[in-house]
Amino acid sequence: MDTGVTGRRIDIEAFDDGGLTSGSRGIHIYLPPGYDSGEERYRVVYLNDGQAWLSGVWDGPQLECDRTYERLFGTGRIHPAIFVAIDFRRDGRVR
């Protein structure tokens, strides 16, 4: 179901955390529809293993949280929110 409601995504491929963790990682920020048009405050949802949560970020399984959110937002059943999806580091992941 296409509601015609779409947000905007910002992709940072190699975010440097200044040595806080084991190195840089990708961060993907989803901004809700209407974000750029006002001064509204938004809830923020942080998603670990972020490459799997948003559509089109990687070639593995995708949960498409952004598309599900847009469908719910388009029906008025959910509040505006920002999603911050933080990728895991494939070479430094604890097993």
7-26 pLDDT, tens digit each: 888 888 877 767 766 677 78
Instruction: State the pLDDT at residue 22.
Output: 67
Confidence of residue 31 (pLDDT cuts 50, 70, 90): very high
Task: Please determine, for residue 27, whether its predicted confidence score (pLDDT) is greater than 60.
Answer: yes
**Mind listing the pLDDT tens digit for each residue in 36-95?**
887 889 999 998 877 777 766 666 667 778 888 888 888 988 888 999 988 876 565 554
Taking residue 82's Cβ as centre, other Cβ atoms within 10 Å add up to 15
Instruction: State the pLDDT at residue 11.
Output: 87
Structure tokens, 39: 């001064």
pTM of the model: 0.73
Which is nearest to 82 in space by CA: 9, 25, 27?
9
Instruction: State the pLDDT at residue 42.
Output: 92
